[in-house]
């Protein structure tokens, strides 16, 4: 299984390199086209560009798959610690969607946890998407979000931060599906 994961990462890196080489060749062909009047270079640029973009997309897909597999593996085999959020850092110039209520902001979450040796460790999450309608920045995010850190038992620098909204604990119903507690 481990060789499969390593081979997926290797295939992703190779695809990215091939795609970057094709795009570099297309840029070089466009420069040669601008320097001369020969139409062969513009045809080469189109050929290299159309070959480079699928290779880059394939490489990015393999990379994202390997990142997903890493987080799932850490959730399964890693040590889970409850973390306290220090601050939420906005991912500048990154906003997905249109309008006020139909979009999300990209952000990083810094949080700390105490490990088994009582050492305090500060970690930073991957880029996450937060609802635009709710102000998570400042002290609001600490009150609205939970953080859990999954740490590899072999290497403490290998971690994954999971961010989830805090569930409402109070309920007026006899059974509430959100917190799975019966009165």
Among residues of the chain, what percentage have pLDDT more than 70?
A: 73
Task: Tell whether 26 is covered by a domain.
Answer: yes
| Pair (85, 101) in one structural domain | yes
55 and 108 together in one domain: no
E strands, the chain, are: 79-97, 103-114, 120-124, 128-131, 145-151, 159-165, 175-176, 181-182
Highest mean pLDDT among 65-74, 98-107, 173-182: 65-74
According to DSSP, the residues that pair with 138 across neighbouring strands are: none
Count of domains observed in the chain: 2
Report the SS3 class of residue 22: helix
Q: Which of 13-22, 87-96, 167-176 has the lowest mean pLDDT?
A: 167-176
pLDDT digits (tens, 9 = 90+) for 7-64: 777 888 888 888 888 888 888 887 777 777 666 767 777 888 788 888 888 888 888 7
Residue 178 is given by DSSP the state T
* Structural domain boundaries enclosing 95: 78-165
Q: Are residues 8 and 57 in the same domain?
A: yes
Distance, CA of 179 to CA of 51 (rounded, Å):
51
Q: Tell me: the pLDDT tens digits for 109-123?
A: 888 888 888 888 888
Confirm if 23 and 52 have CB atoms less than 8 A apart: yes
Is residue 176 in some structural domain? no
Phi, psi torsion values for 90, nearest 5 degrees = -70, 140
In a domain, 171, yes or no: no
Same domain membership, residue 68 and residue 47: yes
């Amino acid at each position: 299984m481990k060789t499969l994961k390593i081979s997926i990462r290797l295939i992703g890196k190779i695809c990215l390199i091939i795609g970057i080489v094709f795009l570099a060749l297309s840029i070089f062909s466009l420069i040669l086209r601008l320097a001369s009047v020969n139409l062969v270079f513009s045809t080469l640029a189109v050929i290299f560009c159309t070959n480079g973009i699928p290779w880059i997309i394939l490489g990015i897909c393999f990379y994202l798959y390997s990142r997903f597999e890493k987080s799932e593996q850490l959730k399964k085999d890693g040590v889970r610690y409850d973390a306290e959020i220090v601050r939420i850092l906005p991912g500048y110039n990154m906003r997905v969607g249109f309008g006020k209520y139909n979009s999300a902001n990209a952000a990083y979450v810094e949080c700390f946890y105490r490990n088994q040796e009582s050492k305090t460790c500060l970690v930073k999450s991957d880029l996450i998407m937060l609802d635009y309608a709710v102000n998570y920045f400042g002290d609001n995010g600490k009150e609205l979000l939970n953080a859990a850190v999954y740490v590899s038992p072999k290497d403490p620098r290998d971690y994954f931060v999971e961010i989830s909204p805090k569930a409402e604990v109070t309920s007026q119903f006899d059974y509430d599906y959100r917190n799975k507690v019966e009165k």
